[in-house]
Each structure stands twice: as structure tokens, then as C-alpha cells.
Amino acid sequence: MDASLITPGPPWLPADVRDSVGSTNAVLAGDQRPWRVVTAEVQTQGRGRLDRAWTTTPGTSIAASVLVPRPSRAPLGWVPLVVGLALRDALTSVAGVEVALKWPNDLLLPADGARKVAGILAELTPDGVVVGTGVNVDQERSDLPVDTATSLRLAGAPGVSREAVLTAYLRSLATLLGNLDADPYAVRSSYVAACDTVGREVRVLLPGSEITGVATDVDPDGRLSLTTGSGTRAVAAGDVVHVR
């Protein structure tokens, strides 16, 4: 990726573009400057939620991490949700594709069977929140490790500039984080309106158990509200399967 084409402006520091790292999240965990951005063509130890391995073909995807301050008025659980909103905005504006948010950290492309195009991993640090994003941009089907994944190319948007996507994402994220501090309720309303999980019957996989119900809302703490056969539950984290 060409660092000179990644131009989000303040408050972001100049993008740190690398050929290969163990993990972009790990790089930022060792350098606590707010508003830092690291991206790499190859991650030798890339991972997603639950320590799942995340691998990419060089030149076809975005693997980037940012360090942002903790929100002053909203719970920390809202940071990865706001990242999802910002990334959705960027993909929609730059690639012209419809993007669906799946709580808490996946972005899906309805144009390719609601397969996953991007994921998010947030980690708390002493001075802020490190958030990693992985976006499949230009892969062919054979480049992807699982059938449930897709790319912008496969959804009808080949040749999208990765630098343009990253720039748009960073600009949107800075704006939304400012909005989160100014008016958490408005940001919550925007997220709920954009979240494809809300209104669906879902199965939430938890350690040693699972919950099935209808997702009705995302509460002020960023938790998914479920109506089940035994009442209402609020889930802070878990693997969500859209049943219908």
C-alpha cells in the first residue's frame, strides 16, 4: 500500500505502512500514541475474535489497526460498533456496495449471499483502545479460506483502491468517535438502524451454551437484546448466527 495515498488528516498520525508484521494490533500495543494507524500487507500472526487465525493474500486486502482514546461518555463496548459503522460508510461510499452490519463485529455483503467481507477485533490498552480491521478487497473465491467469506471484487466491485477505503474509514471513524462523545444516543440510533442483526431470529454461541431468540435492540451498553422463550436477555459478546 502507498502511504502517500492514505490521507485522512488530523487527528490521525501519518499511516505506518509495513510489508510484514506479526500482528498490526500487537504493533500498536507496544506504542501507545493515540490516533496511530498501522497497516501491513502480511500478518504472520493475524487473528480475529476467539484467537481465530486470519490470513490474506498480499495486495488483495486491508489489514489495519488504530489506537483511539477511550470514549468519555459511552461504554467501551461501543468502540467496535462505531468502527463497524465507519467501515460500512467507507465501503459504501468508495466501493458503491450495500453493506450489512452483523453484531458485534462483522460486515456482510448482501450482493454475495450475505458473506463476510470484513471483521473487527478490539483490545483495551492502558491508554486507549486498539482496533484491528480486516477487509477483503480484491480476492478471487479461490483466495478465501472459507465459503462464508467474500470480497468487494466478488460482490461486483473489482479494483477498488485500498488506500481510498482506508482513508474514508479513518475520516468517518474520527467523526463518529467525536459524535459518540457528544451524543451517544444519536450514535446508538444510527447503529441500530444499520444493524442487520436487529429484528432477526438468531442463535448466540457462548462458552458451553447457546441462546436462541429474536434480536430486538442494542442497549446503551452496546449489548444485544434478545427476546427468548424465557424472557429478555442482554448479551455482551458471543458468536451470532442469523437463523432467519
Per-residue pLDDT tens over the stretch 159-194: 999 999 999 999 999 999 999 999 999 999 999 999
Residues 19 and 97 in one domain: yes
Residues 68 and 91 in one domain: yes
Per-residue pLDDT tens over the stretch 53-80: 556 678 899 999 999 999 998 999 999 9
The Cα 139–Cα 142 span in angstroms is: 8
Per-residue pLDDT tens over the stretch 83-118: 999 999 999 999 999 999 999 999 999 989 999 999
- On the question of pLDDT at 51 being above 80, the answer is no
State whether the Cα torsion 29-184-7-116 is positive or negative: positive
Residues 29 and 135 in one domain: yes
Residues 205 and 189 in one domain: no
Helix, strand, coil percentages (3-state) for the chain, rounded to 5, are 30, 35, 40
* Cell of residue 219, nine digits: 442497549
Residues 108 and 208 in one domain: no
CATH number of the domain where residue 231 is located: 2.30.30.100
Distances (CA, A) of 83 to 37, 52, 201: 14, 20, 24
Say whether the peptide bond before residue 104 is cis (omega within 30 degrees of 0).
yes
The parent domain of residue 218 ranges over: 201-242
Tell me what the pLDDT averaged over the chain comes to.
92
Residues 238 and 147 in one domain: no
- pLDDT above 70 covers a percentage of the chain that reads 95
